[in-house]
Structure 1
């Protein structure tokens, strides 16, 4: 099919993320994203562009092998460009999974990006390059937390969705603390949005404090017997 035919039958809507899951000619699933000037097509597994690197499925996998075999390796300019390509490709697929409501796949792609950040930062050519990428960590954590919470809501309970948001917020807080910016945490736009999502779930599903929230409060108030009971209940739930 000529590209003109695809574009004419799938009009770009600038007010929405235009995404669909379709079958390729060989029967495999692919994601298509309609953008202003055409269509992006992404593989659903491995690297979104389908590229392999020396028998590694993604550039992250390649870097992990390099780091294991040559721990002192520093990223070259070409390496940095490839890392950036992989960041962008996984960003596109992550937002597609969110739009398609494949929440667990969005979590997986967010985790890939976070691992890529960790590995590439250790191999970074300089501090400026590291900082230019680390600034996006809260954004990736935001997407991951959203996706995990919605997945928990879909598969389990609203309480577990709320706890997923709490866990994500704590991870984000650690990032702010690490970068000596904790005073800006509560007012950060992404933090505010996750907090609003949590309280909306709490209100809509009539959820009080989660077990972990109750445990935290009991410890803060030095109610150690209550804390012990809550900890036992948490252990029991996690074992099931």
Structure 2
């Protein structure tokens, strides 16, 4: 019997849902676990660890790791080539798809890890980019990546440490996004940004649902702003005790 090389049956058994993100875990032929995402024109299969396409560029776990090694070797003379920019773009896209998969599967710690990889690669590209326009083509998405990271970190904290820890993660993420807007002299756009609004709505819904008042970090910031330094010291002690108890 001739070997079938199309995926017609797979696509029929797993129809595309235009209203949602369809993601699943499956076993590969060798028993390893992989991620699959159903798209309108087919499906993507991604490895769950290392680089999503399963390759090891130049013998490294990721292309980013290869670039870091090369930059360290060449020192101040290093600048990314056109080919290296293209390969970095490929890795950006792969990690975006896997991050979306992790969010859909509610594997929030893995979504945070993949977002951190993307943000670190963005930092690297910003430092060694050969072209300002190419840099901006990525930097425009930094708030979006931070949105995903903040959302995932908050929901992961909610499950691990409770609602107050989740609120703190949201506050930290919002502050980081605010700094990005400030870096590009767009502070006036921060309050109206849709992603910022969604994170604030999530934070306030957690406060309401879990009856969370001011967090220790919020109380500390208020005490410092009001120059109540003894109170600030007491709050720091409470925070230290909480950290040591975990």
- Could you state the TM-score of these two structures normalised by the residue count of structure 2? 0.95
Establish whether residue 63 from structure 1 lines up as the match of residue 67 from structure 2. yes
Residue 113 of structure 2: aligned partner: 108
Secondary structure in structure 2 of the residue aligned to 1:222? coil
Superposition misfits of 4+ residues, deviation over 3 angstroms: none
Q: 2: CA distance between counterparts of 1:179 and 1:235?
A: 35
Report what 2:218 is aligned to. 213
Whole-angstrom distance in 2 between the partners of 1:155 and 1:237? 14
2:160 aligned to which of 155, 158, 163: 155
1:178-210 residue CA offsets vs partner (Å, 9 max, x unmatched):
111112211111111100000000001000010
Given the alignment of the two structures, is residue 25 of structure 1 paired with residue 29 of structure 2, yes or no?
A: yes
Deviation at 1:222, TM superposition (A): 2.2
Match of 1:197 among 178, 196, 202: 202
Q: Which runs of 5+ in 1 are unaligned?
A: none
Q: Please say if 1:232 is aligned against 2:243.
A: no
1:8-47 correspondence runs (5 A): 8-47=12-51
Q: Quote the RMSD (CA, aligned, Å).
A: 1.0
User: Are residue 85 (structure 1) and residue 85 (structure 2) matched?
Assistant: no
Give the gaps of 5 or more residues in structure 2.
none
Tell me which moved more, 129-138 or 216-225.
216-225
Query: Which TM-score applies when normalising by structure 1?
Result: 0.97
Count, aligned residues: 240
Shift in Å at residue 239 of structure 1? 2.5
Per-residue CA distance 1:71-120 (angstroms, 9 max, x = gap): 22221111111111100000000010000010000000000000111112
